[in-house]
Structures are given as C-alpha cells and as structure tokens.
Amino acid sequence: MSRGKLDLDPVTVRKARALARKAGRPIVEMAQQHTTVSVERATLRMAGLEGADGDGIPWANRLLDVVRADVGLEHGVALPVWDALVRGEAEDLPTLAQKAGAGSVTFRVPEGRDAIRAEKAARRQVAAGLRRIDRRRTERDRLIRRHGDAPRKPWIYLIVATGDIMEDVPQAQQAAREGADVIAVIRSTGQSLLDYVPEGATREGFAGTYATQENFRIMRAALDESSKELGRYVRLTNYASGLCMPEIAVLAGLERLDMMLNDSMYGILFRDINPVRTFVDQRFSRQVHARAGIIINTGEDNYLTTADAVEAAHTVTTSQLLNEYFAKEAGLEDWQLGLGHAFEIDPDVPDSLRLELAHALLARELFPDAPLKWMPPTRHMTGDVFRGNLLDGFFNLVGALTGQGILLVGMMTEAVVTPWLSDRDIALQNVRYVLNASGALHEDFRPAPDGFVAQRAKQVLGESVDLLERIVDDGLLDAIADGTFGLMKRPADAGRGLDGVARKSELYVNPAVDLLEEQS
C-alpha cells in the first residue's frame, strides 16, 4: 500500500478517522432525535409548496406556524397537514396554506386509520418532489455528456454577486468566457439569519445576492446558455447554510445547482446559530445533497481568519475529518466532499510558503478522492494590489503543486472593494498563467521524506489526533462551547434558532426523512 508523498503513518490516519467517527456519532444520534422548523418547511417545499403571501412571507412558513401553534412541532408537519387535505379542508397544499394563513383551518394529529391515510398521502407527494430532484440530477449528467466537462483540474471557482441577480447574470457569463468553471453567487449579508427564504427574483442585496428559488432558476438558465456556447458544463454554487439550510438544499436540488456551501459548524461559529439546530439541519441538508448529486463545500478556511493559521492548522484537519464523517454518514460520496482549507499564513512568517505546502499536501493526502476546495489569502491582504496579486500567484502555485480539486480565484482588491469585472479578469489571468505554466507539476513535486514539509504535515496530523482524543472525552458540543474552533465559544443551550428545535415524539412522521434514509 502506497504511503503517499508525505509517508504518513497509515495507523495514525486510521486512528484519526476512528476518533472522528467516535466524536461525531453522538451528534448524529442527537440529530436523529430532533427536528426543526426548517426541516419541516423543507418537507413542505419538497412536496411542491411554493410562493409567498402579500407580505413576502413564504407559504411554507405560514402553514408551519399554524400547525405548530395548533399541535406543536414535535410530531412533524406531515400528519397534521395531509390529514387536513385528506379530510377535504382544501383541494391542494397551496390552498391549504392560504386558508391556514387566513385562520380558517384547525389542525390535529390524526390517529389510527386517519394517521395511516395521512402518512400515505404525504409520502406520495413528497416522493414526487424527490423524483423531480432525481430528474434534475439526470439532466446534469446528460448536459455534461453533451457539452463536455472542464478540461482540467483544479476547477476554477469565481465569486459573482452584485446584489442584483440581473446584473449577476452577464458578469457570470463573462467570467465563464474568461475561464471560470464554477460560478458562486454569494448571499446577501445577513440572509443566513433569516428564518425564511425570500421569494422571487431580487435586485437589491448587500455584498451579495439573495438566495431564492427564482434567482437559482435565472442563474442556472444563464449558465446553461454559457455551457452550450463554450462547449463545457459550467457549474453553479450557492449557500445551504444558516437558519434555512434544509430548505435551500431542497431548492438547490429542484433547480439543479451543482455545489453548495454546507459546513457542519460554520453557522455555529460565525453566525451564532444554535449548535443543536445546526447539526439537525445539516444532516437533513446533506442527505438532500447526496440525493441530488451536489458537491458540498465546507468552511474550514474561516477558522484561519480568526485564529492563527500556523497554531490552529490542526483544527482545520480535525474539522475536515469531522466533516467527512458527517457527510458520509448522510450518504455523500468522496467525489462530493469539497473539504475546505486556505492559504492564510502571514506572509512575513519565515518559511510561510513551505508551511502552506505542508498543510495543503496533508489535506490532499488525507482525502485523496475528494475535490478539495482551496481558498485564497484574505486575512493578510493589505490593499496593496500588486502585493496581493503576487500572493494570489503563490496561492495558485501551491494549488497546482498539491493537486487541489477546486481553486477559488483570489482577488487583489480583497478587503478594498467589491471586485469589478476588470479585477476578475486580472485575477483569472493570474490563475490561467500559473496553471498553464505548471501543467502536471504536482506529479513531479515530492517533498523530501524527512524534510521540512513532510515533518510539518506529520506534526499537524499528530496534533489533530490529540485534539480528537480530547473531543471524544469531552464531547463535541463542549469543545465548540470552549472555543476549540476559530476561537469562537458557542454553548449548546444558546444561539439563534434554538426555539425552532423540538425533540421528536413517538408519533413523529416525516416522509422526506424516511425516503432520504432509505437511500443511504
């Protein structure tokens, strides 16, 4: 068995994965025992409920709020809602939601034969939604065969987000013409804290564009045009995180997005979302992504924007191992694991490039079949665009040397302005030059077995094993509360969205959960 370029001890690697499983299993069990308002709303959306009332509040929210007020959240939404439909309270789900919003429907938890009829009706309708997601996955495969795929790795990943979806479209299409393989439409600032998904096309956002089903449709259609024009399939990314993570995952599956940012701890650490809410939501969302054939991107790079990238390097590796366990438990395969890491070491640190090589190659060797997402420098970008462009070039070179799978384009105007098209063009020139000049350089790059790079990688792996052992002893929730990751202290009994969590009752039914569990 090959020990790779770093000659990592296979016993240590196996131990690290075993510890990650041991640390993660109680979290999975907790997730299985709870539901959230967003999981239940995602079930309604999977069953075909779309639209919003005159105030812009989605019908999924309106309907769930009434059900919850009448019978609680702990039984799930399926039995009360489809019981009402079977009883003839409304002819379809949208009409029932409108009547509920008007206060003309009262819900109950059915029992006996009524419960059986309601459950069968719910399962039929939710299964139809899953078949729509299946068809979109098949459609993606067909379009990749028709147009061809990106001709090389890493895929070039570029962010476009003006706040106006109609302006995002031409910028995204031009970026694809300039070589971008993946277009990421980042969300408007603060959307992760909204406990509803905005409706319709949006033209006003803040440092990003709102994630809505209609915006997904618009950008997907635009990139399909670009795929046909360019003769290669152009992928689309958005964010399945925050308080509406499960719902956005469903919408992504229905609208054929290809990648979704979906980290297990990002919302906890950087948006102060309750840990229990986040872990319940992320498990459901990852099951949806597994079904839809979506690649997830995790957010370990963010830890290095608040903690020192050298001292905290082992927390990145630890989180990657936990993210891998949670993802595979939810049914995702290796090719869907865009595990994150970043080029964030202070460039004034001696041997900073060698350290970056060690950390990047460690990730590549630990997860050889995963399309790792390599993130550019942000923390130490100063506004000096010439220095920034050089730093981005070093970042691109490390990506080429270590065989990364997804390379996010760094911007020399990072921390100065929202990039213009001209900024993106210069950044893409940098990427194209480095990747073209490097070719298959990663095949030739082999660090000395006892040299600086290999020894540093082994040191980080050893520190990650030590940390995982502590997490197993103390529990992951306590580790998060103690500030282990990104120096953020987030206790399990606090944070946004806790009031939207409920422990499942013995009567709990959710056909979406059942159908997704059956796939894994």
Cα–Cα dist 176/156, whole Å: 9
- Rg of the chain over all Cα atoms, to the nearest angstrom: 23
> What are the start-end ranges of the E strands in 246-401?
259-261, 295-297, 337-338, 340-342, 373-375
Contact indicator for 304, 316 with CB cutoff of 8 Å: yes
Cα–Cα dist 67/63, whole Å: 6
Q: Which residues contact 22 (CB under 8 A, 6 or more apart)?
A: 472
Exposed/middle/buried for residue 450 (C-beta within 10 Å: 0-12, 13-18, 19+): exposed
Of 266, 303, 325, 508, the active-site residue reads 266
Length of the chain: 520
Cα–Cα dist 198/51, whole Å: 9
- For residue 444, count other CB atoms closer than 10 A to its CB: 9
> What are the start-end ranges of the E strands in 382-496?
406-408
Cα–Cα dist 28/124, whole Å: 27
- For residue 422, count other CB atoms closer than 10 A to its CB: 9
Contact indicator for 238, 261 with CB cutoff of 8 Å: yes
Of 168, 263, 301, 392, the active-site residue reads 301
Pairing of strands 501-503, 34-36: antiparallel
Active site residue 384: no
Active site residue 266: yes
Cα–Cα dist 369/364, whole Å: 8
Residue that is written with structure tokens 């019981």 in the block = 83
Active site residue 373: yes
Residue that is written with structure tokens 């395969």 in the block = 333
Cα–Cα dist 270/204, whole Å: 24
C-alpha distances (whole Å) from 153 to each of 72, 231, 418 are: 49, 17, 27
- CA atoms within 13 Å, Cβ hemisphere of 164: 5
β-strand partners of 241: none
Geometric angle at alpha carbon 169, from 233 and 162, rounded to 5°? 125
C-alpha distances (whole Å) from 294 to each of 299, 334, 351, 390, 447 are: 16, 12, 37, 33, 34
Structure tokens at 130: 């899953």
Of 281, 373, 392, 423, the active-site residue reads 373
Contact indicator for 484, 471 with CB cutoff of 8 Å: yes
Active site residues: 266, 301, 373
